[in-house]
Amino acid sequence: MRNAKFVKEIVVIDPDSKGEVSLSVFKHENGGMFALDSSYIVQVLPEEGDCTIPDPFNEFDDLEEGIIHKVNLTGV
């Protein structure tokens, strides 16, 4: 399983609702960065243990074969 380390939380404006949305930014161990809606993390984060999501940098070939890699969110 791969890991992604929490970097910081940022606030952006949703282009549809025009409301503020908090995003959590993560640094993937492959060198890339990605952000998730912070409210989503609150929904999937267990009270104890790791928060694991489908890897946003999953290889396209793996997706075609039905293989979904996971990434562990650390520092949240």
Domain residue spans of the chain: 2-74
Higher pLDDT: 19 or 46? It is 19
Q: How many residues does the chain have?
A: 76
Count of alpha carbons within 13 Å of 10, Cβ hemisphere only? 10
Residue-wise pLDDT for 9-22, tens only, equals 999 999 999 999 99
Q: Which run of H or of E encompasses 3?
A: strand 2-13
Q: How do residues 61-74 score in pLDDT, each as one tens digit?
A: 666 777 788 899 99
| pLDDT value of position 67 | 78
With tokens 């267990």, the residue in question is 46
